[in-house]
Amino acid sequence: MPAQAQSNTFSNCDLGSDLSGRDLSFGNFSNCNWRSVNLRGANLSGAYLNSILLNPKLQSYQRRATEEVSSDLTNANLQGADLTLANLERAILTNANLVAARLFDADLTSATLENAKLDKVFAPVVILYEANLKGATLSLGDLTGASMASSDLSNTYLYRTKLSYADLQNANLSGANLTEANLTEANLTGANLTGANLTGANLCNATMPDGTVSQQGCP
């Protein structure tokens, strides 16, 4: 029977390197150190993960000299989890369930979120620089002011997603479904919109890939 963390508090903890398949739902893991931890298939639904450290912030010269293994949350259930201010830099979240999760100001620089479910996510000013979100679903999510430059958002589902003021410079949005998305004041300079569906999208004052400013959706 899997170990459970329901209603338990593990703040400022170090839980080791292998938590794969564990039931950690509704646990309080604020400020925990989960560097290089294996969370494949773990259940973290409803968990409080405020300010957790999954991967350290490293300067470029440190990255070259350090064999740091990215935290693995492949297939993890993080539905409704609170990841406010969490450091998820370079974390692997392939096929993860992040529906209705809170990612306010979280750092997912270079993270892998391929085919992840992020519908209804609350993630204003989230950092997704150079992240891989290929095939992910983010419908009805709030990514206002998100930093998503050079990210791969190809074939993503962004129906009615809030992307106002988002930095999407050089992002790959080819094949993305942006139907009725809010891209007010977003920066799409150099972005790839080949095959993207922008039906009903609000692009008021958004900077388009060619540098022009759109008036689509402006009153």
**DSSP result, 65-107:** H--PPPPB-TT-B-TT-B-TT-B-TT-B-TT-B-TT-B-TT-B
Closest CA to 136 of 185, 148, 189: 148
The letter for the amino acid at 147 is S
Domains and CATH numbers, the chain: 1-57+69-114 (2.160.20.80), 118-123+132-219 (2.160.20.80)
* Run means of pLDDT, 10 residues per run, the chain, 219 residues: 45 63 81 71 79 53 41 87 87 94 94 98 98 99 99 99 99 99 99 98 98 96
Q: pTM of this prediction?
A: 0.83
Distance CA 114, CA 91 (A): 11
The alpha-carbon radius of gyration of the chain (Å, integer) is 17
- The reported pLDDT for the residue numbered 45 is 82
- The reported pLDDT for the residue numbered 88 is 86
Distance CA 6, CA 188 (A): 42
Question: Each residue of 61-120: pLDDT tens digit?
Answer: 333 333 345 678 889 898 998 888 888 888 899 999 999 999 999 999 999 999 999 999
